[in-house]
Chains A and B, each alone.
Chain A
Amino acid sequence: MTPARTFACLSVFLLAACGADPAPEPVEQIIVRQPDTPPAAIAAAAVATAAPTSALIAEGKAAFANCSVCHAVAKGAPHGAGPNLFGIVGKPAGQAAGFAYSDALKTSGIIWTAAELDSFIAGPATKIPGTTMMAGPMADAAKRQAVIAFLESSDAS
C-alpha cells in the first residue's frame, strides 16, 4: 500500500461528491418583500393574531424563549433536543412518546405539578441528578411562575 494510492482514492471520494450537477434555478420563488421594505403590515397582522391571554402568560412566553431552543410547546410538534412540553403540567415525568429521556428522569416517579416544575427549573441537576437537560438553574422565582403559567396555558386554548 503506497501513500500515493491512498490519496488517489481519497481524491476520487472528494471529486465524486463534487459532481457535475447543474445548478437548478428555483422551481418556485415567493418574494414576500424586498429587504429594504419595512414589514409594517405583516408585523401588525402577526401581533393581532398572537394576542396573549394574560400578562403573566405573556411574560412566561418571553421567559421561555431560551427554553424554546430545545423545547417545542405545540400539539404534535416534534421533539427537539428536549421533549415537546405541550400539556406537560400534570403529566408524569419522562414519559412522552418518542423522546429518549435520561434514566434518572424516566425513573423519577415525579408528576409535573406546578410545585414540582418550580423546583426542577430552579435547579435541574440538583432536583434530578443525572438529567441530560443541560439548562442551568432559573433563579428568578417570579420568572419560574410565569414560565409555568405559560406551560399550563399551552393546552388550555
Chain B
Amino acid sequence: MSKTETGSPEKKGKWTRRAFIGAGVVAGSALVVGVAVRQGNPVNRLNPLLANGKDERLLNAWVKVDADNIVTAVIPHVEMGQGVYTALAQMLADEMDADWNRVRILEAPADMQYVSDSIARDFLAPDLEVPALFEPTVAGGILELAQAMGLQFTGGSYSVRATGQRAMRTAGAAAREMLVAAAASEWQVPAGEISTANSMITHARSGSSAPFSQFALAAAEQSLPARPTLKTPDKYTIMGQPKARHDIPEKVDGSAIFGIDANVPGMKYAAVKAPPVIGATVESMDASTAKTMPGVLQILNMGDFVAVVADGYWQAQQALSSIDTKYSKTEGDGLDQEAIFARYASHLDDAGEDGGDSETEEGDVAKGFADAAVKVEAEYKVPFLAHAAMEPMNCTAWVRDGKCDVWSGHQAPVKARQAAADAAGLPFEDVTYHNAYLGGGFGRRAQGDYIAMATRIAKATGYPVKMIWSREEDTAQDFYRPSATSRFRGGLDKDGRLVSWDNIHTHLFDPKDAPTVPYYKIASHKIRKVEVPMQLRFGPWRSVDHSQHGFFIESFVDELAHAAGKDGYAFRRELLADSPRHLKVLDTAAKMSGWDTPLPDKHGRGIALVPSFGSIVAQVAEVDMSGSKPKVTKVYVAADPGFVINPDGFTAQMESAIAYGLTAALYGDITLASGKVQQSNFHDYPMLRMGEMPAIEVALINGDHQHLGGGGEPGLPPIAPAVTNAIFAATGKRIRELPLAKHDFA
C-alpha cells in the first residue's frame, strides 16, 4: 500500500484513498458511512485473496451524502441483469429516509485500499463491536457476510438477503441517526423529536427544517451508532415498492457499457482456442497460413490455448481458424456420454441400498420399507449444461511498466483482480480492475479463467489486447453444470401416506440442502451420495444443485402421488402438514391455476414446489401435448422470499428463471464424444424462442420479513418438474431424463 501513498492519489474512477483518510469525506461529499467487518472473524483465512496486509479491514456498504443533497449508495455487488443496484439502494434509502428521486448508485471498486485499518478507525468507533453493529443479524451471519463482501461476490441469490438485509439497511439507518444527532445538537432539541423524510430533517415544534446535506459535515463528527434502529415493515416507504430499475434506461438506449465494450486506445484483438478435450495441452501449431493473413500481429502458443492477436477481431478469428493444432493425449480422450452415465451407474450400484456418503438420515428406513404397502422405485438423469451467457466470455488487459489494467464483467471483482495479478506476475495493488455490466453471469462469470487468459496474452504482447471468445469457444470451454443420476425408493402405507424415502445420487456441490426435503413430513428418510471422478470442469449454474435435485425430488413425489392414487397437489398438501409457509405457497399456486378445473384433451397441469436460497417457490405449468413436442402454455408462480423488496424486480427474476430453466428442460444438453464437447453454438445448443415462452403469472407472499430469501435463482428449480409432471398428466408418459428434446412425443 505504501507505494500508492506518495504523489497524487491513485485514481480508481471517482475513488481516491487519500480523500477518505485525510478529510473524512469524499471530495464533494460531506458524510460517508461504511459498515465494517472486522478482523478476528474467520475471514482471515481468505486474506491472501483479499487484502494487502494483516491490519486491513473489509468495509462492505457505504453511503455518502453530497453537498447538493444527493445520497449515493455504494453497491458492493455487480449488475448482471438481476436488478441488484436498485433493490440494494432501496434498502439503504428507505432506512435513511432518503428522497428516492435523489439517490444515485455507484458500484464499489474492486479495491481493498480504501478499506484499511485507518479508515475503520476514522469512521467507526474504535471500541465498536461488530456483532453489535450487525444487529439484527442471524447467528452465524457474520462469517457468511464477511465472505460475501470480501470476495465481492455476486451469486448464491445473496445480495438482498445478506448484504441488503445486514449491511445496506444498517448503513442507511446509521447515517440517518448520525444526521439526526447532528441536527439535534445544532438546534438544541431532543433527537427523539426530530423526524426525517425525503432527505430532509425536520423539527416540527420549532419549525426547523433542513436538507441532509446541511448537516452532513456535522454528522460525520458523530459517533457511529452501534445498534441503529431498523424499520418495521409498516414503516417502509421504499422497500416493497416496484421502483423502476436504475440500469434500464441505459440498456434501452444502448449507452450501457458491458465488459465487451471496453475501449482502450491502441487496443488490439485476440481470438483464442483451447484444446477441445479439457485438460489437454497444445503440443504444436502450424501457423504458416495464419502468418500471412491480413491484420495478424502475433500468434501465440500459450501451452493451454492458442491465441491470435490482430488489428481486428474478425481477422484474429479467421487466422485462428487456419491454424493446424496438435493436442496432447489425456485420460479423457476416449470419454463419451454413455461412458459417463455408465460410470455413474456403476458407482451407484456399488453403493447399493446402504452405501455411499450419508447426508441425512432419520427414522428407520429399512423398517419403513418392510412395512410399506406400496413401494416405488425410480431413477432420474440430467445432462451437463452450459451457461450460454448472451455476452460471450471476454476480457481486455494491458500489462506495462509493472502495472496492469483489466476491463471485464465478473461476478467477483476482487477475485478477478487477483486472477489478473497472478497472471501478470504482479502484486495485487499494481493491478486495477475495471468492472462493467455483465451480459449474463449465471455462475459462469464467477470463474477467473478468462481474466487470466487475457492478462497472459497482454503480458506477452506488451500492448492492450481485447480477448473475445467465439460462441463456439464459450460453449465448448465452459465450467458445466454437472450431469447427475439420482435413484429413489419410496414406501407408502395402506392409506397412501409416505412413510419412507431413500435417495442416492451422484456428486453434490452446493448448496448442501439441495437433495433434502425437511419440509415434507416423511416418517423415515435417508439421503446419500457417491463421488464420481471426472476430468471436466464444473461450476455453479443458476440455482446450482437445486437445478438437478428440484427435478429429481419433485418428479419422484409426483410418482409417489400417482402410486398412492392421489392428486399431485393433494398429496403434497399432506406432506406439508407441518410446514405452513410452504403450504401457503403451494395453495396459492394451485388456486391461481384453477387446479381442479378441466383442461382440453391432450393438455395437462403439473405442480412442483422447491424451496431454495431461503425462498419458497411453487409453480403450476400447463402443457399442450397435441403437437409433436411439448408446448408450455402457462406457468403460475407463487413465491415467498420472506419480504419482497422490489416486486417488479422479483417478478422479473421469476420470469427469467423460468425462461432459463425451461430452455434447459426442453433443450439443454451438453454431450461428449471422444472427450470433446459436441455442441458449439445456438443451432445445437438452442435457447427458448419468443414463441415458446409461456405466459407467466406471479403471486408474491411476504411470509417473514426478518429472514429474507434470494430472488435470482429460486424461480428455476420448480419449472422442469412442473412441466414434466404436466406431461405425465396429459399423456401418462413419465419423463425421467432431461432434456425433453430426447423424447419422442409424436
A contacts, CB < 8 Å to B: 1-15, 17-18, 20-21, 23-35, 39, 42-43, 45-46, 78-82, 99-100, 103, 132
The complex places the Cα of A61 from the Cα of B696 at a distance, in Å, of 45
The complex places the Cα of A34 from the Cα of B155 at a distance, in Å, of 41
B390 within 8 Å of A (CB atoms): no
Contact B683 A1 (CB under 8 A): no
Residue interface bits B316-360, CB-to-A below 8 A is 1, else 0 = 000000000000000000000000000000000000000000000
Assuming A23-B423, A29-B460, is B412 touching A14 (CB within 8 A)?
Answer: yes
Which residues of chain B come closer than 8 Å to A14, judged between CB atoms? 151, 153, 412, 415, 446
Which residues of chain A come closer than 8 Å to B293, judged between CB atoms? 42, 46
Assuming A13-B510, A23-B422, A30-B291, is B297 touching A35 (CB within 8 A)?
Answer: yes
Assuming A18-B49, A18-B448, is B512 touching A30 (CB within 8 A)?
Answer: no
Which residues of chain A come closer than 8 Å to B513, judged between CB atoms? 1, 6
Contact A3 B162 (CB under 8 A): yes
The complex places the Cα of A30 from the Cα of B461 at a distance, in Å, of 10
B532 within 8 Å of A (CB atoms): no
CB B585 to nearest CB in A, in angstroms, measures: 18
B241 within 8 Å of A (CB atoms): no
B419 within 8 Å of A (CB atoms): yes
The complex places the Cα of A26 from the Cα of B447 at a distance, in Å, of 22
Contact A25 B460 (CB under 8 A): yes
The complex places the Cα of A151 from the Cα of B297 at a distance, in Å, of 31
Which residues of chain A come closer than 8 Å to B595, judged between CB atoms? none
CB A37 to nearest CB in B, in angstroms, measures: 9
B449 within 8 Å of A (CB atoms): yes
Closest to B540 in A: A13
What are some 23 contacts across the A-B interface (CB < 8 A)? Answer: A1-B511, A1-B518, A3-B161, A4-B144, A6-B144, A7-B144, A8-B143, A9-B509, A10-B544, A13-B446, A15-B49, A17-B479, A17-B539, A23-B456, A28-B299, A32-B299, A35-B297, A35-B311, A42-B294, A46-B294, A81-B681, A82-B683, A100-B684
Residue interface bits B260-286, CB-to-A below 8 A is 1, else 0 = 000000101000000000000010010
Size of the B side of the interface (Cβ < 8 Å), in residues, is 77
Q: A14-B446, A28-B301 are in contact. List 17 more A-B contacts (CB 8 A).
A: A3-B140, A6-B156, A11-B147, A13-B509, A17-B447, A17-B479, A27-B301, A27-B303, A29-B298, A31-B297, A31-B298, A35-B311, A39-B311, A42-B292, A79-B680, A80-B681, A99-B683
The complex places the Cα of A78 from the Cα of B97 at a distance, in Å, of 60
Contact A46 B446 (CB under 8 A): no
Closest 7 pairs (CB-CB, A-B): A1-B513, A28-B301, A4-B140, A9-B510, A6-B511, A30-B299, A23-B423
Contact B303 A10 (CB under 8 A): no
Residue interface bits B383-420, CB-to-A below 8 A is 1, else 0 = 00000000000000000000000000000100100110
CB A103 to nearest CB in B, in angstroms, measures: 8
The complex places the Cα of A26 from the Cα of B424 at a distance, in Å, of 13
Which residues of chain B come closer than 8 Å to A46, judged between CB atoms? 292-294
Closest to B614 in A: A3
Q: Among A8, A18, A29, A78, which residue has the most Cβ atoms of chain B within 10 A?
A: A18
Q: Among A13, A21, A34, which residue has the most Cβ atoms of chain B within 10 A?
A: A13
CB A132 to nearest CB in B, in angstroms, measures: 7
Contact A35 B268 (CB under 8 A): yes
Contact A39 B516 (CB under 8 A): no
Closest to B283 in A: A27
Closest to B628 in A: A103
B contacts, CB < 8 Å to A: 46, 49, 138, 140-141, 143-144, 147-148, 151, 153, 155-156, 158, 161-162, 266, 268, 282, 285, 287, 291-304, 311, 412, 415, 418-419, 422-425, 446-449, 452, 455-456, 459-460, 463, 471-472, 479, 509-513, 516, 518, 537, 539-540, 544, 613-614, 628, 680-684, 686
Contact A35 B266 (CB under 8 A): yes
Assuming A14-B151, A81-B682, A100-B683, is B294 touching A43 (CB within 8 A)?
Answer: yes
The complex places the Cα of A26 from the Cα of B456 at a distance, in Å, of 8
Which residues of chain A come closer than 8 Å to B479, judged between CB atoms? 17
Contact A30 B287 (CB under 8 A): yes
CB B555 to nearest CB in A, in angstroms, measures: 22
Contact B540 A26 (CB under 8 A): no
Which residues of chain A come closer than 8 Å to B147, judged between CB atoms? 7-8, 11
CB A131 to nearest CB in B, in angstroms, measures: 12
Contact A6 B510 (CB under 8 A): yes
The complex places the Cα of A115 from the Cα of B81 at a distance, in Å, of 45
CB A106 to nearest CB in B, in angstroms, measures: 13
The 8 Å CB contact of B297, one of A5, A9, A32, is: A32
Which residues of chain B come closer than 8 Å to A15, judged between CB atoms? 46, 49
Closest to B302 in A: A26
CB B576 to nearest CB in A, in angstroms, measures: 18
Q: Among B291, B293, B298, which residue has the most Cβ atoms of chain A within 10 A?
A: B298
Which residues of chain B come closer than 8 Å to A24, judged between CB atoms? 302-304, 456
Contact A23 B511 (CB under 8 A): no
The complex places the Cα of A39 from the Cα of B539 at a distance, in Å, of 42
Contact A3 B138 (CB under 8 A): yes
Which residues of chain B come closer than 8 Å to A6, judged between CB atoms? 144, 156, 510-513, 613
The complex places the Cα of A2 from the Cα of B145 at a distance, in Å, of 13
Contact B448 A7 (CB under 8 A): no
Closest to A83 in B: B683
Closest to B293 in A: A46
Which residues of chain A come closer than 8 Å to B301, judged between CB atoms? 26-29
Which residues of chain A come closer than 8 Å to B156, judged between CB atoms? 6-7, 10
Contact B49 A7 (CB under 8 A): no
Contact B302 A27 (CB under 8 A): yes
Contact B516 A1 (CB under 8 A): yes
The complex places the Cα of A15 from the Cα of B282 at a distance, in Å, of 26
